[in-house]
Amino acid sequence: MAAQKDLSLEVIFDAEKDFSLIHPTELPDPTEFLKQNSIVLLTGIAFQGSPESFAPYVDRVAAAGAVGIGFGVGLAFDQVPTPLIEAADTAGISLFVVPRPVLFVSLINKVQQEIERRRNYQRERLLENQKRLNTAAERDGLDGLLRESGHCLNAHVVLSHNDGRLSAAAWKPDLPPVNRDGLHQIVRDKGFGRATHLGDFNLVAYQMGGEGELNHGLIALSLQHLDSNDLALLRHCAGLAAVSLKRPTTYRRAHQELNSLALAVQLDLSHSSAAVERVFQQFSDTSGLVRPVLIVAEQKAAIDKTINNLDRALDRLGHTLFHLRLSHRHSVVLFRGSQPAQEIAQLLEPTKSDTRIAMGAPIHWELLGQDKISALERTAAGLAVGTIVGPEACALSWAENPEVKRLLGERERDTWGRLSRKPELAHTLDSFLRNGSNISHTAEKLQLPRKTVRRRLDIIQRILELDLTNPVVTAELLIIRLGCPPPTPQLSSSYELPVTTAPGG
């Protein structure tokens, strides 16, 4: 990021730690909202009168997972305070200076663009490798499929019975040999469906199923870590291998495997290729909407029972199950967005007693991502076992947190509280913030001349001692307003309060 000349960032020191998220916040203690490997952006508004408070602040954010701090100068501080420099150095996290003309949002956009570029590359790589496996399986059968899988994964790939006997194997010649006795022992003792180590190799064993007591597993042994895309490709290989092993049987489970693969790709990426789009079009409604449903259970058996029962119910209706097992306790299922929540609840009713089920609102399949699943997880976490809830239970509730309310209340007194005796100014500021800090839109909404709106905003800036052209300042004021709404009704009946949801931190 520092190499981007248009950002003009000045690196005070670089801890050389990877980051995956930028979090702008002016809260004096944002630890509740921070995620691992994040960079915190701030201007230090909350520390104007007490720069010595930066030391405990840095300790808190570093403990919460922050790996760096970007400090915007020119607003609250003309230069980076010495206590902040010393604290960041002690904590071992990066520190860089953001010049006054550089907007925080431009940094966020740069990071998002790079993340999107990498995701697009991984997506295209996965889809291309899938095509290669399809071609290899069709042209050269099982042996060709395993060889091509080993090439794509840079791994030894073997197909094994659950008693340790190998059905087929593709040993990669440029990798060290595998201790086959040790491999047989792991399969016999631990079975499939797990990740472990064998010497220097990372071993991932995927269970494929079989007849009676005889099961097959697809095993990859790699010297490097296998990421989510590698695992998705291994699952794809397992589906093709199962078809090769048992061609006369129904292709239903292979179809489900491909559906699960498409969903796994979608949860990692914000855009999809035409191949994935065709899959989702089969399961979305005419508007491209799907409804995600998260099923949570304490025991794997309860998840298996629910999914199997749902599969049979959908089979009777002539539909195919579209689901992904996220863990032994979590599964996500997709339904058409036009299918009512009540109908879905009826399908899940017979086996709900050991599960907690959260149904989301219909959403376009391209917008389905891990954030939507995480929101369903938070909803399901608060449910009693045997409960099914719809999207009405999935509302954001961060503002009800007592600590958040306390912090917002303090900032409200320091900002909006100064306008309590001038309701027309508070009303103007409220409209300005809710209309994207656009003076023309604000004037239109308030039915006032733009000159009057500008004059009021100038007065507000002097009273609050804040720069309303700074997006960080306006974002903070809007969050405070949403978290601490005024107790009195709006002054003008012509003023419509837009429905706005504030981010949680």
Residue at a domain's end among 341, 361, 394: 394
Task: Give Cα separations from 389 to 195, 359, 370, 379 (angstroms).
Answer: 34, 6, 20, 9
Over residues 407-417, mean pLDDT: 87
pLDDT score at 496: 33
Q: What's the CA gap between 15 and 68, in Å, rounded? A: 8
**Percentage, residues of the chain above pLDDT 90:** 35
Over residues 393-409, mean pLDDT: 68
pLDDT score at 482: 64
In the block, residue with structure tokens 């800090």: 437
Q: Is the pLDDT of residue 39 over 60?
A: yes
pLDDT score at 255: 59
Q: What's the CA gap between 355 and 303, in Å, rounded? A: 8
Rounded to the nearest 5°, which phi and psi values hold at 206?
Answer: -105, 125
> Does residue 197 lie in a domain region?
yes
pLDDT score at 17: 86
Over residues 405-417, mean pLDDT: 86
Which of 102-111, 175-184, 399-408 is the least confident region?
399-408
Q: Based on the domain organization, do 60 and 83 belong to the same domain?
A: yes
Q: Model confidence at 490, in pLDDT bands (50, 70, 90)? A: very low
> Does residue 274 lie in a domain region?
no
> Does residue 157 lie in a domain region?
yes
Cβ-contact 437, 468 below 8 angstroms: yes
Q: Is the pLDDT of residue 54 over 50?
A: yes
Strands (E), 312-370: 323-325, 330-336, 355-359, 363-364
Q: Based on the domain organization, do 206 and 314 belong to the same domain?
A: no
pLDDT score at 290: 92
> Does residue 278 lie in a domain region?
no
Q: What's the CA gap between 429 and 477, in Å, rounded? A: 9
Sorted by sequence, the CB contacts under 8 Å of residue 166 that are 6+ apart come out as: 158, 159, 160
Look up residue 91 and give its two tokens: 């904590």
> Does residue 310 lie in a domain region?
yes
How many helices, marked H, and strands, marked E, lie in the chain? 15, 16
Task: Give Cα separations from 357 to 122, 139, 260, 392 (angstroms).
Answer: 32, 43, 19, 13
Residue at a domain's end among 102, 118, 139: 102
Over residues 319-327, mean pLDDT: 85
Q: How many domains does the chain have?
A: 4
Q: Based on the domain organization, do 389 and 403 belong to the same domain?
A: no
pLDDT score at 50: 92
Q: Based on the domain organization, do 137 and 235 belong to the same domain?
A: yes
> For residue 147, which of 38, 66, 241, 54 has the smallest C-alpha distance?
241
> Does residue 502 lie in a domain region?
no
Sorted by sequence, the CB contacts under 8 Å of residue 208 that are 6+ apart come out as: 192, 215, 216, 217, 218, 238, 241, 242, 245
> For residue 146, which of 174, 178, 131, 168 has the smallest C-alpha distance?
168
Q: Based on the domain organization, do 142 and 228 belong to the same domain?
A: yes
Q: Based on the domain organization, do 289 and 388 belong to the same domain?
A: yes
Q: Based on the domain organization, do 300 and 387 belong to the same domain?
A: yes
Q: Which residue has the higher pLDDT, 116 or 456?
A: 456
Q: Could you give the 3-state DSSP secondary structure of residue 125?
A: helix
Q: Based on the domain organization, do 130 and 245 belong to the same domain?
A: yes
Cβ-contact 37, 20 below 8 angstroms: yes
Q: What's the CA gap between 370 and 376, in Å, rounded? A: 10
Residue at a domain's end among 394, 416, 436: 394
Q: Centre a 10 Å sphere on the Cβ of residue 229 and count the other Cβ atoms it contains.
A: 20
Sorted by sequence, the CB contacts under 8 Å of residue 368 that are 6+ apart come out as: 266, 267, 290, 292, 334
Q: Based on the domain organization, do 26 and 71 belong to the same domain?
A: yes
Q: Based on the domain organization, do 20 and 61 belong to the same domain?
A: yes
Q: What CATH number does the domain containing 37 carry?
A: 3.40.1390.20
The DSSP H or E segment spanning 229 is helix 228-245
Q: Based on the domain organization, do 96 and 143 belong to the same domain?
A: no
pLDDT in tens, 16-35: 888 888 999 999 999 999 98
Cβ-contact 352, 305 below 8 angstroms: no
pLDDT in tens, 238-266: 988 887 776 534 455 555 656 666 676 66
Q: Based on the domain organization, do 240 and 134 belong to the same domain?
A: yes
Q: What predicted TM-score, i.e. pTM, was given to this entire model?
A: 0.38
pLDDT score at 43: 93
pLDDT score at 254: 52
Q: Is the pLDDT of residue 503 over 80?
A: no
Rounded to the nearest 5°, which phi and psi values hold at 355?
Answer: -130, 165
pLDDT score at 493: 32
Q: What is the DSSP letter of 176?
A: P
Q: What CATH number does the domain containing 370 carry?
A: 3.30.70.270
Q: What's the CA gap between 389 and 298, in Å, rounded? A: 18
pLDDT score at 113: 84
> Does residue 88 lie in a domain region?
yes
Q: Which residue has the higher pLDDT, 10 or 275?
A: 10
Rounded to the nearest 5°, which phi and psi values hold at 168?
Answer: -160, 155
Q: Which residue has the higher pLDDT, 277 or 372?
A: 372
Q: Which residue has the higher pLDDT, 292 or 207?
A: 292
pLDDT score at 428: 92
pLDDT score at 110: 83
Cβ-contact 307, 331 below 8 angstroms: yes
User: What is the CA angle 407-422-502, rounded to 5?
Assistant: 35
> Does residue 500 lie in a domain region?
no
Q: What CATH number does the domain containing 169 carry?
A: 3.30.450.40
Strands (E), 279-423: 289-297, 323-325, 330-336, 355-359, 363-364, 387-389
SS (H, E, C) 261-290: HHHHHHHHCCCCCHHHHHHHHHHCCCCCEE
Q: Which amino acid is at 57?
A: Y
The DSSP H or E segment spanning 214 is strand 214-222
Rounded to the nearest 5°, which phi and psi values hold at 423?
Answer: -60, -30
In the block, residue with structure tokens 């949801």: 501
- Kind of pairing between the strands at 289-297 and 330-336: antiparallel
Q: What's the CA gap between 149 and 305, in Å, rounded? A: 32
Range of the domain at 241: 126-249
pLDDT score at 270: 45
Task: Give Cα separations from 337 to 372, 404, 469 (angstroms).
Answer: 15, 34, 41
pLDDT score at 274: 57
Look up residue 153 and give its two tokens: 């994964």
Q: Which residue has the higher pLDDT, 260 or 427?
A: 427
pLDDT in tens, 433-483: 877 889 998 898 788 999 999 999 999 999 999 999 998 889 888 888 766
